[in-house]
Structure 1
C-alpha cells in the first residue's frame, strides 16, 4: 500500500492520510466574506488528510487580492465558522493560512488609498496585485510603492496575526499556518538583498528572521505550538525576490530555529513548477538535518513523486494544489488509479459563480 494513504499523527490531530490540500487563492468572495460556495468548496475536498485554506488576510493592510476572504471582522469570523463546520461534518481537518502580502498590494486595496507596507520602501519590480484598474473594473495592476514599517508597527502586525489566530480557533479551525513564503511580507524581511534596514529587524541573519520568529512565538503562546504551522519557500524568486550571499545559511538557521519551537509542522514550497528556480541540490538534506519535526513539501507532485518523497525520508506529508481544483475527490482518484480531470485555468481566479469552483463532479467509476 502507498504510504501516501497511511494515517499520520499531526501533533495530536489524527490525519487519515498524508495528502494535504495546499493553499490556493481563488478570489471568490465578492465582499471579502466567505459564502455558501466557500463552505461547499472546502467540504467537497474534506477527504484530504489536511486542508490548508487559501491565504486569509489578517487585516485590511494585508490584502493584495480583490475578493479574497479575510479574518479580521466579526462577520468574516462567523462566515468561516460555517466553512469549518462543513469540513468537520464530512470528517475533515482544516488549518487557516494567515497572510499579509506586504508590498505586493496596491493603493486601491488599502484603507484611504494608502501605501502598502514592507521591510523597506522599494517597489516589487515586474510584480502585480489583483486590484482595481479603475472604479468597478478589477484586474492585474503594478504593485504600488510601499513604505517601510517602523519597529513599533512590526509589533502591531504581529498582534494582528495573533488576533486573526484567535478568530481562526474561535471559528473552528484546527490550527493556523503562518504564510512566510512566496515573496510576501515575512520573506521581504528575511531576504538579505531586499532588507537593508539598520535596526533590529535588518542586517544579520538573526535580525532578518526576528519578525518571523517573534510572530510564531506569539501565535504559539496564544493557541499552542501544536496548532501552528509555518510555510516557507527557500530560494524563492517570486515577486522580485533576488539572491543574496548568505541565502543558504539563512534558511538553515531558520530550520534550526523552527525545530526548537516544536511547531505542528513546517511547509516547504518549491517554486519550480510556477516558473521559478528550484532549491539547490543538497539543500533539502541540510534543511532536514536542522529541522526534524513534521515536514510538508509541495510543488508539482503527482502520486509517483509523492510516494518517492515519502520513501526517501525526511518528508511526512505531501501538498497537492491545482489537482484539487478539478478533482474534489483527489484522494479517492489517486488511491484507485482513476483518471484526473483537467481544471479550467480561465476560472482559477475571480467571480465566476460556481463555475470552475464547486461544479467539478466526483468520479463515477460505473458511469
Structure 2
C-alpha cells in the first residue's frame, strides 16, 4: 500500500474513520430550482465519493439572505431538509460519515439574490472587493458580478442570526447528517466578524480581537447546545503572505494572522469541538503555512486537525507522519476521481479535472468521472473491439 499513514483509522467524535482522506466542502451549484434543493443527482455524486474517511457537504446556506451564488443548496426549508436526506442516506449506505457545512455569505452577495432585492447583511457597511457573486436573474444574469453594498446588522439581528445557525444545525440532524461544520472561512459572514478589515463596529462585536471573535463564540455555543461538541467542526482560512492580498476572495488577510487564528482556535478548544479545518491557499506556487503556526495549532487544540490545500498524497502523508495533521482534504482530485482513496493506496494515475464543468450544469463533470476500474475496462473493451 502506498502512503500507509493516510490509511490508519482515526477517531473523530463518535466515529472511527476508515482513512484520513477527507472529501471537503466544494461548491458545485447544482441544486434544484426553485427552492435550492439537493437532488438525486447530488446524492449520486456524494455516494460515489463515500470511500473518503470523512466528508463535508458543500456550503449550504442557513437562510435566504445567506446565499451569494445562484443554485447553491440551502438547509432552512422542509423541502431542502428532505433533499439532503437523499444525500445522507446514500452516503451512509456506502459506510460514509458526512457533516453539513453551515454557510452564510454575509456581504459577499448581490441584491438580486436577496429577499425583496434588499441589501446583503454584514458586520459593517463595507462593500466586498476582489470577490464576486453569481446571479441568475436581472442585469448581468448568468455572470459573476460585484457584490452589492451591504447594510450593517443591528445587535438584535446578530442575535437572530446566532439562532438561525442553531436552527440550521437542528435541520442538519433532521436531514441525517452526522454533524455540522461552521463555515468561518473564505471571507464569508463569520470571517467578516473576525476580520478587522470588514468589521468596524464600535459595540461588543467589534474593536478588540476578543470582541471580533464574539460572534464566532456565540454561534459555536448555540450550535453545540443542539448537536454536542463531538459533532461540531469549524473551518478557517488563515492567510500569511503579503502576496495573499491579491487573493482576498479566499479570505481576509489580518495584520497578525498567527495571533488571530490561534485565538479563534482556542474558542473551539474551550467548546470541545471535534475538529478544526484549515483551508490553505491553493493556487499555483502558493506559500505554505508557517510550521510555527501548525505547531501552535497543535498546542492550542486537542481535537482533530484537518488541512486542505493543493496537497499531493506525498505531502499529505508527510504532514500526518509529522503529527501536524490528523486528516487531509483533497478537493479538485476528489471531484475528478470518485475512487480517490483507492487510487492513492495503489498509486494509480488520476483523471484530469474538467474545469469548465465545475459550477452549474448537469451530470457532466459531476457524476460522469470514471473510477480507475471503469477506465481500465473501457480501454480494454476498445482494444478488444
Whether contact under 8 Å (1:271, 1:299) holds in the other structure is yes
Partner of 2:12: 10
Q: Aligned match of 1:292 in 292, 297, 302?
A: 302
Whether contact under 8 Å (1:133, 1:140) holds in the other structure is no
Whether contact under 8 Å (2:41, 2:363) holds in the other structure is yes
The whole-number CA distance in structure 2 between the counterparts of 1:266 and 1:63 is: 24
C-alpha deviation, 1:281, in angstroms: 5.0
Q: What TM-score, normalized by structure 1, do the two folds share?
A: 0.95
Give the stretch that moved more between structures: 49-58 or 285-294. 285-294
Partner of 1:359: 368
Whether contact under 8 Å (1:190, 1:208) holds in the other structure is yes
Report matched runs for 1:172-251 at 5 Å.
172-235=176-239, 238-239=248-249, 242-251=252-261
Partner of 2:78: 74
**Count, aligned residues:** 366
Whether contact under 8 Å (2:8, 2:20) holds in the other structure is yes
1:25 aligns with 2:27: yes
The whole-number CA distance in structure 2 between the counterparts of 1:233 and 1:221 is: 25
Q: Aligned match of 1:349 in 341, 348, 359?
A: 359
For each residue in 1:172-194, what CA deviation from the matched residue of structure 2 results, as whole angstroms up to 9, or x when unmatched? 00000000001111111111232
Report matched runs for 1:1-367 at 5 Å.
2-31=4-33, 32-132=36-136, 134=138, 137-235=141-239, 238-239=248-249, 242-273=252-283, 278-280=288-290, 282-351=292-361, 353-364=362-373, 365=376, 367=380
For each residue in 1:173-221, what CA deviation from the matched residue of structure 2 results, as whole angstroms up to 9, or x when unmatched? 0000000001111111111232111000001111000101110111001
C-alpha deviation, 1:274, in angstroms: 7.0
The whole-number CA distance in structure 2 between the counterparts of 1:279 and 1:355 is: 35
In structure 2, stretches of 5+ residues that fail to align are 241-246, 381-385
CA gap 1:284/1:270 in 2 versus in 1, 3 angstroms: same
Whether contact under 8 Å (2:130, 2:248) holds in the other structure is no
Whether contact under 8 Å (1:124, 1:240) holds in the other structure is no
For each residue in 1:251-295, what CA deviation from the matched residue of structure 2 results, as whole angstroms up to 9, or x when unmatched? 121122211221111101111437866534522222222122211
For each residue in 1:70-118, what CA deviation from the matched residue of structure 2 results, as whole angstroms up to 9, or x when unmatched? 1010000011111100111111111000000011101000000000111
In structure 1, stretches of 5+ residues that fail to align are none
Whether contact under 8 Å (1:103, 1:117) holds in the other structure is yes
Whether contact under 8 Å (1:194, 1:241) holds in the other structure is no
C-alpha deviation, 1:239, in angstroms: 2.9
Give the stretch that moved more between structures: 277-286 or 76-85. 277-286
Whether contact under 8 Å (1:158, 1:215) holds in the other structure is yes
The whole-number CA distance in structure 2 between the counterparts of 1:149 and 1:279 is: 33
C-alpha deviation, 1:139, in angstroms: 1.5
Q: What TM-score, normalized by structure 2, do the two folds share?
A: 0.91
Whether contact under 8 Å (2:238, 2:251) holds in the other structure is no
C-alpha deviation, 1:136, in angstroms: 9.3
